[in-house]
């Protein structure tokens, strides 16, 4: 294999960074001892650009190609984005409806045994539980839309994991290698 280029990033399965390589963990390093790498990276990953600069931080990140492609959002070098968990808001869901079916009869049961959902509440019954059932002795078909209060809000407004399947490995960057000449 050819010698690595200064600034080249590789995936490494070891628990240490080999000689002339460093972990891509966002650490700040001095410009004076790493002038070639600074000439390639600049301070786009952190640091003050006078005495030190930052290495890319790939801890908990998935690398992504910079630039744009057909139908893709343009991404700049060193730009970060994404989140590990997401709380999905109602406004973010596609518009849709639920139409459970029920009988148009008055509800007379509080449990579903031998019954189907009822559209209406019977007079004088406490509407809790909201779902009322109509006793059916024959296989009567459903013939109306269920009462809208029979379906309540669900979920807990808690974030869910948004991460793709993963296998943790080390990303390392070459500190001292071949100078990458421009084409």
- The per-residue pLDDT of the chain, averaged, comes to 81
Mean pLDDT confidence for 116-122: 60
Q: Are 57 and 9 in contact (CB under 8 A)?
A: no
According to the model, what pLDDT value does residue 89 have? 82
Q: Are 145 and 101 in contact (CB under 8 A)?
A: yes
Residue 142: is its pLDDT beyond 80? no
CA dist 18 and 10 (Å) reads: 11
According to the model, what pLDDT value does residue 51 have? 98
CA 42 to chain centre: 30
- Tell me the CA distances in angstroms from 14 to 3, 17, 18, 23, 167, one per residue in order: 19, 7, 9, 11, 13
Nearest C-alpha neighbor of 8 from the set 76, 56, 59: 56
């Amino acid at each position: 294999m050819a010698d690595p280029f200064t600034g080249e990033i590789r995936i490494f399965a070891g628990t240490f960074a080999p000689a002339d390589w460093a972990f891509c963990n966002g650490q700040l390093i001095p410009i004076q001892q790493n002038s070639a790498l600074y000439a390639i990276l600049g301070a786009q990953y952190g640091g003050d650009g006078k005495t030190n600069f930052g290495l890319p931080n790939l801890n908990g990140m998935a690398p992504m190609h910079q630039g744009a492609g057909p139908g893709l959002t343009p991404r700049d070098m060193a730009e970060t984005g994404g989140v590990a968990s997401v709380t999905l808001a109602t406004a973010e869901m596609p518009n849709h409806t639920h139409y459970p079916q029920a009988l148009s009869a008055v509800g007379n049961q509080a449990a579903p045994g031998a019954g189907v959902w009822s559209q209406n509440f019977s007079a004088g019954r406490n509407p809790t539980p909201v779902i009322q059932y109509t006793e059916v002795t024959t296989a009567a078909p459903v013939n109306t839309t269920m009462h809208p209060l029979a379906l309540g809000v669900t979920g807990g407004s808690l974030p869910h994991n948004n991460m793709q399947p993963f296998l943790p490995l080390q990303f390392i960057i070459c500190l001292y290698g071949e100078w990458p000449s421009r084409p």
